[in-house]
Amino acid sequence: MTTAYVYDPFELNHTFDGHPENHRRLEHVLALLERDGILDRLTRLPENVATLDPVLAVHGVNYVAQLEDICQDLAARSGGGTSRTDNLGAAGWLDQDTYILGASYEAALRGVGGLLSITDAVMTAEAANGFALVRPPGHHARPNSAKGFCLLGNVAVAARHAQRQHGAQRVLIVDFDVHHGNGTAEMFYDDSSVLFFSIHQYPHYPFSGTIDEIGRDVGEGYTVNVPFPAGVGDAGYLAALRQVLTPLAYEFAPDVIFLSAGFDGHWLDPLSEHRVSVTGYAKLVEELIALADALCRGRLICTLEGGYHLDALPHCVLSTLRALCGDEAGVSDPFGEVEARAEAAEQVLLSVTRRLGIPTPGNKPGLPKH
């Protein structure tokens, strides 16, 4: 089996000059992947527009209809076109950070559709694992509103799809984007069949994801947040996976692991201060591959979230793909590491393990039994 990927050039039409989440993110990623030649060793899945059924499993019907209506109106104002040129001068804003254009609704559905294609391939063993190179990102989108550059909750839609269409009983979602995946967390906050684990900078946008946000009702204990202060670097992130995620994952025993792969914690990224390196991200992915191999027959499905430095992001993606497909070339990190404050992570990790009763010397596992 091979590593699958999706890339849909239509998504480049969702763009706004001067905004950090623009079409150049994917253009720069694809340019590096093509120069490297790694795409020849992967399986590209066909482009796909998601139907509404999986989307409405996590989003309200009125919100989705509103998105479509707004985009149709914007497209009409730009002469009915949806190309980048057509979109110029016909943009709207859903909040202070999230723009929308005539092409945005279709781009969002194509982003979801691409991730669903990866999900189908991995869950049916047509691919070993996969990476959805899609945008706009999704982990901030709430059930009934857009937020933080995100229109639709890509990974949430795919997680529920894995359950409903492929019989996955337990789904683990890991989110290492530097911004808390508030939308994903909200969609599964009272659900014990989805374990949501997020490492993020705090306090930082969207100013959620505290240690005490652990889920509600039967979902209590199935939302796990590691809200790190600035500067924790590679060592802090790796410690969070090993000390917090790994014991919980073994107890939870997921049928599939999804990764919201946001690379905006890189030390060059303009939107964060976490000082993670490309090499650090590659180590995290390697840890998740090992978990997937041990727990769920290697089923690891990644989707692009943030990452706004146009040189660092492509190398993060390339290194992730190399890890997924076992490429002997290994990590591609021309930038190296910077000094970090790993000790800043220690107190947070101690508080998280105590709050949830995560296995440490003297503790017992803390996932509730329902």
Per-residue pLDDT reduced to its tens digit, 241-257: 999 999 999 999 999 99
What is the extent of the structural domain holding 327?
3-356
Rounded Cα distance between 178 and 227, Å, is: 10
Is there a catalytic annotation at residue 140? yes
Q: Is residue 361 part of a domain?
A: no
Of 55-69, 168-182, 257-271, 345-359, which range is least confident? 345-359
Rounded Cα distance between 23 and 292, Å, is: 31
**What Rg, from alpha-carbon coordinates, does the chain have?**
19
Q: Is 293 exposed, middle or buried (0-12, 13-18, 19+ CB in 10 A)?
A: middle
Structurally, the chain folds into a number of domains equal to 1
Burial 13-38, CB ≥16 within 10 A → b, else e: bbbbeeebbbbbbbebbbebbeebeb
- Confidence at residue 370, expressed as pLDDT on a 0 to 100 scale: 35
How does DSSP assign 290-323, residue by residue? HHHHHHSTT-EEEEE-----TTHHHHHHHHHHHH
Q: Is residue 368 part of a domain?
A: no
Q: Is residue 370 part of a domain?
A: no
For residues 123 and 57, the answer to whether their CB atoms sit within 8 Å is: no
Q: Is residue 103 part of a domain?
A: yes
Rounded Cα distance between 95 and 72, Å, is: 18
- Confidence at residue 83, expressed as pLDDT on a 0 to 100 scale: 67
- Confidence at residue 232, expressed as pLDDT on a 0 to 100 scale: 97
pLDDT band for 365, please (50, 70, 90 cuts).
Answer: very low
pLDDT band for 363, please (50, 70, 90 cuts).
Answer: very low
- Mean of the pLDDT values across residues 13-41? 97
Reported as a single tens digit per residue, the pLDDT across 222-233 is 999 999 999 999
pTM of the prediction? Answer: 0.95
Q: What is the mean pLDDT of the chain?
A: 94
55 closest CA partner among 148, 141, 180: 141
- Mean of the pLDDT values across residues 191-201? 98
For residues 13 and 83, the answer to whether their CB atoms sit within 8 Å is: yes
Out of 140, 179, 180, 309, the active site residue is 140
pLDDT band for 79, please (50, 70, 90 cuts).
Answer: confident
221 phi-psi bin (left φ>0, alpha ψ -120 to 50, beta other): left
Q: Is residue 111 part of a domain?
A: yes
Q: Is residue 365 part of a domain?
A: no
Rounded Cα distance between 364 and 269, Å, is: 38
Q: Is residue 61 part of a domain?
A: yes
Write the CATH number for 298: 3.40.800.20
Q: Is residue 362 part of a domain?
A: no
For residues 86 and 102, the answer to whether their CB atoms sit within 8 Å is: yes
- Confidence at residue 78, expressed as pLDDT on a 0 to 100 scale: 80
